[in-house]
């Protein structure tokens, strides 16, 4: 049996099983949910396989609840009736740590399905972050940055070739440690997502068109990290039949959210010193940086000729990592943009109103401009109401980790961890 590789989500799962009746571990397919859930469970029911082998379970789903606790109900959304059954069983047993539910899609809304408040706790599982797949001997910790650490130092081991490879192969457990075939694996993954997962989710009479889904994903892939409006995607994803209908694009985006392929970074709304108008449209990213290049069928070698696009994909990689680390810290993420054009790529808010601001830059040649932008942004914040930032940070694709004379930290992505 393959040795289990520890994940940052492990300690969160262990902790929540101590006080919650059930924990829902959700995320995109192939992120390792079944492996992690099985590692922490004492009994397992693979709902999709059980249903295929014993169709009678569709009328008797309660039979799947029997087993040592914590009991894993893998791909529970294949049998949505399990939600209410687990809720009632948690109430009946009146003890924590009874069930782990893993799911790779959010099922159709059901008015009979209780919210689960007080019984369920949700955790999001994403592909391996950089520090999980390639740990460093000299880590810089996000939780220390949120506490206001004064100075940092270190040296990255990343070069552009290695970084490009990590972008196009991604953090998928299935390709970790592979010397070849990772890019082809991700392309196959994207094909399956568009052909099966997104095309069928929530559809009762007519399947969604995989070709149109792919065109919407290609529009997202060309505009990673942008606050895209639906009207922009409508035109950008046009095909031989013309522009897609607004409701068609809206439906596809919702389906991509429900299979956890699409990540949305909301806009931060801090207290400002002036009446500056803030942008509120969310920014779009993929759950893993490899999805963009795979959707556009770009190899690492081909991407090396377009450093502007490499910068976009690198931003997606950083956002993926930060989402993993922020969840592990109990923090939340957003971005900032106002009507003057001032933008900060990531804001992370931790406990006790602590917050940090982050700019993402592939190289270390334009650090002065990035630092000036962060400082100008921090001066706009009404710190009497929002508090002082604990840190201003530039995350880069390599080079040195250090603290500038203006107090801005420079952190290569391979040195950052939770």
Structure tokens at 341: 């054009």
Q: Per residue in 331-371, pLDDT tens?
A: 999 999 998 889 999 999 999 999 999 999 999 988 999 99
Q: Give residue 197's pLDDT.
A: 77
Q: pTM value?
A: 0.95
Structure tokens at 303: 């991407």
Number of Cβ within 10 Å of residue 405's Cβ equals 6
Q: Are 93 and 65 in contact (CB under 8 A)?
A: no
Please provide the DSSP assignment of 25-55 as one string: EE-STTSSHHHHHHHH-SEEEEHHHHHHH-G
> What pLDDT is stored for residue 204 in this prediction?
45
Task: Report d(CA 351, CA 213) in Å as an integer.
Answer: 39
Please tell me the distance from the alpha carbon of residue 195 to that of residue 392, in angstroms, as a whole number.
42
Q: pLDDT (tens digit, 9 = 90+) per residue, 297-317?
A: 999 999 999 999 999 999 999
pLDDT for position 199: 66
The number of angstroms, rounded, from the C-alpha of 298 to the middle of its chain's C-alpha atoms is 22
In sign, the C-alpha dihedral spanning 32, 267, 409, 142 is negative
Nearest 5°: the CA angle 342, 343, 345 is 165
| Joined tokens for residue 226 | 């942008």
- Tell me the CA distances in angstroms from 406 to 91, 178, 380, 387, 400, one per residue in order: 55, 42, 17, 19, 16
Q: What is the widest separation between alpha-carbon atoms in the chain?
A: 68
Return the structure tokens found at 133: 């797949």
Q: Are strands 153-155 and 71-74 parallel, antiparallel or unpaired?
A: unpaired
In a 13 Å sphere around the CA of 48, the CA atoms on its Cβ side amount to 10
Percentage of the chain surpassing pLDDT 70? Answer: 96
Task: Estimate the crossing angle of helix 33-40 against helix 9-17, to 10 degrees.
Answer: 40
pLDDT band at 129 (very low <50, low <70, confident <90, very high): very high
The per-residue pLDDT for 205 is: 41
Strand (E) positions, 57-168?
A: 71-74, 99-103, 120-124, 140-141, 153-155
Count Cβ atoms within 10 A of the Cβ of residue 277 and give its class: 0-12 exposed, 13-18 middle, 19 or more buried: exposed
d(CA 182, CA 185): 5
Average pLDDT over residues 150-155: 97
Residue 227, both tokens: 């606050």
Contact 126, 164 (CB under 8 A): no
**Residue 4 predicted with pLDDT over 50:** yes
5-19, 74-88, 197-211, 244-258: least confident range: 197-211
Place of tokens 């993420």: 333
* CATH topology assigned to domain 9-124: Rossmann fold (3.40.50)
Q: In the chain, what are the domain boundaries?
A: 9-124, 130-417
Flag whether pLDDT at 214 surpasses 70.
Answer: yes
Distance CA 104, CA 255 (A): 12
Percent of the chain past pLDDT 90, that is, above it, reads: 82
For 210-259, give the DSSP string: HHHHHHHHHHHHHTTT----HHHHHHHT-BTTBSPPHHHHHHHHHHHHHT
313 three-class SS = helix
Average pLDDT, the chain: 93
Does residue 393 contact residue 377 with C-beta atoms inside 8 Å?
Answer: no
Cα dist. 262→52, 105, 179, 346, 395 in Å? 29, 12, 27, 17, 22
- Lowest mean pLDDT segment, chosen from 53-67, 143-157, 227-241, 271-285: 271-285
Q: Can you read off the two tokens belonging to residue 327?
A: 């969840």
> Mapping DSSP to helix (H, G, I), strand (E, B) and coil, where does residue 383 land?
helix
């Amino acid at each position: 049996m393959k040795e289990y590789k520890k994940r940052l989500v492990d300690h969160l799962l262990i902790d929540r099983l101590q006080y919650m009746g059930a924990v829902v571990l959700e995320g995109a397919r192939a992120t390792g949910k079944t492996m992690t859930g099985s590692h922490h469970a004492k009994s397992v029911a693979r709902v999709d396989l059980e249903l295929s082998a014993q169709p009678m379970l569709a009328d008797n789903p309660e039979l799947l609840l029997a087993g040592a606790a914590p009991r894993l109900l893998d791909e529970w959304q294949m049998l949505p009736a399990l939600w209410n059954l687990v809720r009632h069983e948690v109430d009946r047993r009146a003890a924590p740590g009874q069930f782990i539910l893993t799911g790779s899609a959010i099922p159709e809304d059901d008015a009979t399905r209780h919210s689960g408040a007080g019984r369920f706790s949700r955790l999001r599982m994403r592909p391996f972050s950089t520090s999980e797949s390639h740990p460093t001997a000299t880590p810089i910790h996000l939780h220390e940055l949120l506490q206001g650490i004064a100075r940092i130092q270190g040296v990255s081991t990343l070069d552009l070739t290695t970084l490009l490879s990590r972008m196009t192969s991604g953090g998928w457990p299935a390709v970790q440690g592979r010397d070849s075939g990772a890019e082809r694996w991700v392309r196959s993954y994207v094909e399956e997502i568009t052909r099966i997962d997104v095309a069928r989710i929530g559809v009762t009479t007519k399947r969604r068109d995989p070709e149109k889904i792919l065109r919407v994903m290609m529009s997202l892939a060309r505009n990673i990290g942008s606050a895209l409006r639906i009207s922009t995607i409508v035109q950008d994803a046009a095909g031989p039949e013309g522009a897609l209908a607004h409701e068609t694009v809206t439906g596809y985006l919702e389906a991509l959210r429900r299979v956890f392929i699409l990540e949305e970074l909301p806009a931060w709304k801090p207290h400002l010193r002036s009446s500056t108008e803030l942008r509120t449209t969310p920014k779009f990213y993929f759950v893993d940086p490899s999805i963009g290049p795979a959707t556009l069928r770009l190899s690492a070698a081909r991407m090396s000729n377009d450093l502007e696009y490499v910068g976009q994909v690198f931003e997606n990689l950083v956002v993926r990592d930060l989402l993993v680390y922020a969840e592990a810290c109990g923090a939340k993420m957003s971005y900032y943009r106002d009507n003057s054009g001032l933008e900060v790529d990531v804001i992370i808010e931790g406990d006790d109103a602590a917050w940090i601001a982050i700019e993402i830059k592939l190289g270390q040649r334009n650090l002065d401009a990035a630092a000036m932008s962060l400082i100008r942004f921090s001066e706009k914040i009404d710190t009497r109401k929002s508090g002082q930032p604990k840190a201003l940070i530039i995350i880069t694709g390599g080079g040195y980790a250090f603290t500038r004379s203006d107090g801005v930290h420079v952190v290569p992505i391979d040195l950052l961890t939770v």
